[in-house]
Amino acid sequence: MRSAVEREVGRGIEYHAAIGSTQDRARELADEGATRGIVVADAQSAGRGTHGRSWLAPKGTSLLASWIVRPAPGAPALFVAFAGVAVARALEGLVRANALLKWPNDVLLDGRKVAGTLANATSAGDGGVLVLGIGVNVHQRDFPAEIRDRATSLALAGHTVDRLALLARLTTELDHVERPEERERALEEWRRRSMQMGKAVEVRVSGRAPLRGVAIAIDDDGALVLETDHGTERVVAGEVVLA
Ligand code: BTN
């Protein structure tokens, strides 16, 4: 029988007290043919972030979840950005928090990262499947010294949030931004919440000279568009900092 949250979000939720990575488990389920579904964990021993980094979260502190999205949205990188919009909307709806977004996948509160989104997409004849992972720092009261000046949690920002309520609200918002007819509105909200739009930025990609320009748009495929001294440049990867 489905739980109340499963009924609310209209799909199955596989819960793990501890797992390697919800992302890997959701990919397994997707490869076995699951069409929708969410994998949630209270703790991950091998949580993954972008650029091969680890995603660390002490047990019980965070929302750690992966959503199976089938068919995969046409532009996974744009969907990752829209997932940030969904997180921001969920936080605004639940606790009136005003989150900003940092391309490609960071959600910020008070200038510090409170959540990150991650996509793993495959394409196939059936339209492919995307596994979207989101980690939200909810109850942390402190962070390891290496990230203390860059990370925050909802608790540190003064918000008390129930993780199940956040899961349900976030799923509703993700369903929303996934709809083609909502695309323009999501794009507009991404621009409005972006802490980089209209600002001078520097893009750092290892092994290459930094690229400087003004962030002017996010493209249809999720690339960040910069106006540089040498014309318009599209950025598909790299670390973007304010210049
Ligand atoms: C980032 O680097 O900002 C993306 C972080 C994504 C972390 C989430 S936590 C749930 C899911 N499972 C993982 O292993 N990673 C994602």
Instruction: Write down the pLDDT at residue 187.
Output: 93
Q: Give ligand 1 pocket residues (Cβ under 6 A).
A: 21-23, 44, 47-50, 53, 55, 64-66, 105-106, 116-118, 133-135
The domain limits of the chain are 4-193, 200-242
Q: Identical fold at 4-193 and 200-242? A: no
Instruction: Please give the angle made by the CA atoms of 194, 220 and 198, to the nearest 5 degrees.
Output: 30
Q: How far is the CA of 169 from the centre of ligand 1 (A)?
A: 18
Residue nearest to atom 11 of ligand 1 (CA): 133
For residues 24 and 120, give the distance between their C-alpha atoms in angstroms, rounded to a whole number: 10
The residue type of 135 is G
Closest CA to 134 of 112, 182, 159, 166: 166
Ligand 1 centroid–CA 116 distance in Å is: 6
Global confidence as pTM:
0.96
Architecture of domain 200-242: Roll (2.30)
Per CATH, domain 4-193 is 1.10.150.530: no
Per-residue pLDDT of the chain (243 residues; tens, 9 = 90+): 889 999 999 999 999 999 999 999 999 999 999 999 999 999 999 999 998 899 999 999 999 999 999 988 888 999 999 999 999 999 999 999 999 999 999 999 999 999 999 999 887 656 789 999 999 999 999 999 999 999 999 999 999 999 999 999 999 999 999 999 999 999 999 999 999 999 999 999 888 889 999 999 999 899 999 999 999 999 998 889 999
